[in-house]
Amino acid sequence: MPADQAEAHADAAGLYVMSELVTREDLRLALENLDLRLTKRIEARTLRMGVMLAAAVAVLGTLQKLL
Assign 1 a pLDDT band (cuts: 50, 70, 90).
Answer: confident
pTM here is 0.57
Q: Which domain, by its residues, includes 29?
A: 3-66
Query: Domain total for the chain?
Result: 1
What single letter denotes the amino acid at residue 7? E
What single letter denotes the amino acid at residue 67? L
3-state secondary structure of 2: coil
- Residue 48 has φ and ψ, to the nearest 5°, of -60, -45
Cα–Cα distance, 19 to 25 (Å, whole number): 14
pLDDT of residue 12: 81
Residues 6+ apart with CB under 8 A from 1: 9
* Least confident interval from 1-5, 24-28, 43-47: 1-5
- Residue 22: pLDDT above 80? yes
- Residue 17: pLDDT above 80? no
pLDDT of residue 59: 97
